[in-house]
Amino acid sequence: MKIISNPDISKQQELLQRPQQERANVDAAVKDIIKLVQESGDQALFAFAEKFDNAKLTTLRVTEAEIEKAKSQIATELKAAIQTAYQNIYKFHEACFTREYPVVETMPGMTCWRKSLPIQKVGLYIPGGSAPLFSTVLMLAIPAKIAGNKRVILCSPTDANGNINPAVLYTANLCGVTEIYKAGGAQAIAAMTYGTESIPAVDKIFGPGNAFVTRAKELAQQQGVAIDMPAGPSEVLVIADEDANPAFVAADLLAQAEHGPDSQVILLTDSISLAEAVNEQLSIQLSTLSRKQTAEKAIDNSKTIVLDNMSACIKWSDAYAPEHLIINTTNAEEVAEQIQVAGSIFIGSYTCESLGDYASGTNHTLPTYGYARNYSGVSVDSFVNKVTYQKATAQGIKNLGPAVEIMATAEGLDAHKNAVTLRLNTLKNE
Amino acid sequence: MKIISNPDISKQQELLQRPQQERANVDAAVKDIIKLVQESGDQALFAFAEKFDNAKLTTLRVTEAEIEKAKSQIATELKAAIQTAYQNIYKFHEACFTREYPVVETMPGMTCWRKSLPIQKVGLYIPGGSAPLFSTVLMLAIPAKIAGNKRVILCSPTDANGNINPAVLYTANLCGVTEIYKAGGAQAIAAMTYGTESIPAVDKIFGPGNAFVTRAKELAQQQGVAIDMPAGPSEVLVIADEDANPAFVAADLLAQAEHGPDSQVILLTDSISLAEAVNEQLSIQLSTLSRKQTAEKAIDNSKTIVLDNMSACIKWSDAYAPEHLIINTTNAEEVAEQIQVAGSIFIGSYTCESLGDYASGTNHTLPTYGYARNYSGVSVDSFVNKVTYQKATAQGIKNLGPAVEIMATAEGLDAHKNAVTLRLNTLKNE
């Protein structure tokens, strides 16, 4: 990785700039796909399955028998690992979720409260391709299960034989997904946006995908369907000091780099010797990876920035707003305390990102591409609406009504005032 | 209001349809405004102030002296009313906010936690025009104060003398807004999106506005700036039974109707006599309103739907997904318990929407236009990012690492596995 030593602060924005994403070229294709799904429903999905996945489908919904078969195809040790992850993720997500908030009496006779009501219908998209992302099923379907959404729809493309990856099916079933459909890409997003004969339109769509899926989700949002968050390539920023094990740092950078050639990897350190030792380790470790070429490209686009001290590293990290932030320093917890902007933070030399990607308990669906500045990762909150309630007794409106009458008058809203005045008058007469 | 008795369920979608919003005609104008603000910064804002507000401005930031002057212009009783509202809103919003979540040890040696970190820079837009919406200042700036955002920027247009409404200034100052700027409309949104010499670019933009402001916020979102929620005209749905006071019901419908001719008002009831009595009251009360014409138009577009029983009213209300839901029935709390989809719920005959619009404690920035299906109203949560943390000890990675190795291998992600394996190997050697 290119090492940049003690750059001037004026170079910060340029050095931390993310690669531009190309979007325009997929727009027309995605709009065509959406139009066909709107017009022809299931038939369009069958045609796209044949075109993109070489699969001849005649039905879309995965049957009980297919799920049972998938269960039998998963190795016992993988099942056990998935169940461990399930338990940790469930435990942490439940602990961070508030279903009913305390009732607050803001004034005598005026009580207010708030509840989390599950979104009625949610849709989860799980990509196919080289990596069967059953871990993403865990990260989306467990919060949905805790939230209690009435319908949890999952769409995923099939292989040429018309089968969704068995680990995806096994995990979806474990997490209580209510319906699984064979549909991939922008066409799956279109189906969950507009509905087809088989696939229901949903209220909110979650999940990762390629540029086509991302664009389809953006267009779904413009139609009133909510989405989990805007998407961009995955990224990690590591803050390390001279005490960090360079092999660990290199391994963490590569774990991010193998996701794709556009993955972003940044190392911030106050130690030039660590920076150099990490580069040596990168060369050694790269040679052993099956996704070597991908990781190499990503590493070529990435940089190590050497700064004066930890305090500068913290400021540069906040300016970058990383999706994943690994803090591999002495006093890592103290450094973490000072961070203001990040998606998820991994503290200390043993806490590699892979733990959080799969099984520590936190969610791996996180804001990329600088969105950590203004979006949160997925949690149970993402699957509910927070609804407020209020109830005034006669005493309540007597106490609060006069203030509301004054404010409504000041805003020139007569009828707002009148709704209070009529009630107060009735109470005077009683 | 038109009374529709016992419609067939097949008519539900049609009867509950919201009026189409016209958007295309503002798009080009908004894009021109944004372009000018991007190109000319403050100078563009001065020009727009002259064009739209007849105001000759030479600076944009409101001074301390202007705020002091505004304070002296507000009647004592209005100040007291605003302070009452402030206290209730602060109390309720703080009670619904979690800054630090419990630390969860998901497995021995593996701890995860979550914190609410304030978004660095937020922007609040407060429209000018006929109604000076100081109540919206309360609803946006109080949650920001609790969240602790470093910079809280407020933009609002001025009158022809170059002054922002004094009640808006007084309330903004009371709520700890850090900077107030004289800018209105789509140009204010553009300034907060791209920044100008005076006005900083922000991470998230909040607040209501006309079609131009709404479109500018949508375009800001496409540039990576978060927004509070998608916007549409305000609306109320009232569920009432034969025990409801028809004068109260009519007053609540009119309070919504006076917002604008496109406001939506729906009454669901199981009592035809109540429906008729409400219509009589509407005629009587309409004649007394200063915004009579506006309210009349909105009422003309609205309907009363008479259904068989309360259970049907609940189902139709959920299908509509109202921003405001007033339940004016015997056993109103029981009805409220059964509602699955709404923005904010007002329970019982004394709880008019006006209370919540100003001062009950709940937020009045709520999802309109059916967005109650998949968005929540504004709360302190809207002003923070929820960040997750995790820390594995040596014992933690020994316990969890093997499961992660298995899952990473199954997803074909070598380098993810390797980050764990390297650490486990080091521990074996120790």
User: Exposed, middle or buried: residue B224 (CB in 10 Å: 0-12, 13-18, 19+)?
Assistant: middle
**Is A323 one of the catalytic residues?**
yes
Contact residues on chain B for A400, CB-CB shorter than 8 A: 84, 88, 355, 359-360
Label each residue of B150-218 as H, E or C. CEEEEEECCCCCCCCCHHHHHHHHHCCCCEEEECCHHHHHHHHHHCCCCCCCCCEEECCCCHHHHHHHH
- Judged against a pLDDT cut of 90, whether residue B158 lies above it is answered with yes
Q: How far is CA A423 from CA A93, A111, A206, A429, B259, in A?
A: 44, 18, 45, 10, 21
pLDDT single digits (tens) A44-74 = 999 999 999 999 999 999 999 999 999 999 9
Q: Of the candidates B91, B370, B390, which has its C-beta nearest A106's C-beta? A: B91
Which pTM does this prediction carry? 0.97
Q: Write the DSSP assignment of B70-93 as a string of letters.
A: HHHHS-HHHHHHHHHHHHHHHHHH
Please report residues of B whose CB lies closer than 8 A to that of A249. Answer: none
Using pLDDT thresholds of 50, 70 and 90, give the confidence band for residue B146: very high
Average pLDDT over residues A230-237: 92
CATH class of B233-347: alpha beta
What pLDDT is stored for residue A184 in this prediction?
Answer: 96
Q: B286, B257 in Cβ contact below 8 A? A: no
Q: Is A228 on the interface with B (CB under 8 A)?
A: no
Please give the average per-residue pLDDT across B210-222, as a whole number.
94
Smallest Cβ–Cβ distance between B92 and the set A78, A106, A384 belongs to: A106
- Give the alpha-carbon dihedral of B385, B388, B389, B394, to 10 degrees: -170
- Cα dihedral sign, A213-A219-A220-A226: positive
Q: What percent of chain B has pLDDT over 90?
A: 91
pLDDT for A91 equals 98
- Gyration radius from chain B CA atoms: 26
Is B67 in contact with B173 (CB distance < 8 Å)? yes
If you average pLDDT over residues B125-145, what whole number do you get?
Answer: 92
> Does the structure show a pLDDT above 90 at A301?
no
If pLDDT is split at 50, 70 and 90, which confidence band does B291 have? confident
Q: Do domains A23-227 and A233-347 have the same CATH topology?
A: yes
Question: Can you tell me the distance from the alpha carbon of B250 to that of A339, in angstroms, rounded to the nearest whole number?
Answer: 53
Contact assignment for B106 to A85 by CB distance below 8 Å: no
Residues of A in contact with B281 (CB under 8 A): none
Overall average pLDDT of the B211-223 stretch: 95
**Which of the residue ranges A244-258, B8-22, B31-45, B353-367 would you say has the lowest mean pLDDT?**
B8-22
Strand partners, B2: B303
CB A16 within 8 A of CB A266: yes
The domain locations on chain B are 23-227, 233-347, 398-429
Find the radius of gyration of the CA atoms of chain A: 26
> Which residue among A84, A361, A394 sits closest to B350, beta carbon to beta carbon?
A394
Q: By CB neighbour count within 10 A (0-12 exposed, 13-18 middle, 19+ buried), where does B72 fall?
A: exposed
Chain B residues lying within 8 Å of A422, measured CB to CB: 247-248, 251
pLDDT (mean) for A259-275:
93
Average pLDDT over residues B153-180: 97
Interface with chain B: mutation pick from A380, A416, A426, highest number of B CBs within 10 Å: A416
Interface of A with B in 60-119 (CB under 8 A): 77-78, 80-82, 84-85, 87-88, 91-92, 95-96, 98, 101-102, 104, 106-107, 110, 112, 114, 117-119
Q: Do B153 and B202 form a contact (C-beta atoms < 8 A)?
A: yes
Starting at the edge strand found earlier in the chain, the sheet holding B121-125 runs B179-182, B151-156, B121-125, B204-206, B226-227
The partner residue sitting opposite B355, judged by closest CB among A132, A390, A406, is A390
- Average model confidence (pLDDT) across chain A: 96
* B417 at interface of A, judged by CB pairs closer than 8 A: yes
> Tell me, what's the pLDDT at B301?
85
User: Which region holds residue B222: left if phi is over 0, alpha if psi is between -120 and 50, else beta?
Assistant: alpha
Q: Label residue A261 by pLDDT band (50, 70, 90).
A: confident
* Averaged pLDDT for residues A403-414: 96
Least confident of A21-30, A143-152, B79-88, B377-386: A21-30
pLDDT at B264: 86
A355:B84 CB<8 A: no
**Catalytic residue check, B324:** yes
pLDDT at A23: 67
pLDDT tens column, A187-226: 999 999 999 999 999 999 999 999 999 999 999 999 999 9
Question: What ipTM was reported for this prediction?
Answer: 0.96
Phi, psi of A103, rounded to the nearest 5 degrees: -75, 130
What was the pLDDT predicted at B23?
67
CA A171 to CA A142: how far, in whole Å?
10
Q: What is the pLDDT of residues B365-404, one digit of tens each?
A: 999 999 999 999 999 999 999 999 999 999 999 999 999 9
d(CA A311, CA A28) in angstroms, rounded, equals 46
The fold adopted by the segment(s) A23-227 is Rossmann fold (3.40.50)
Banded pLDDT at B22 (limits 50, 70, 90): low
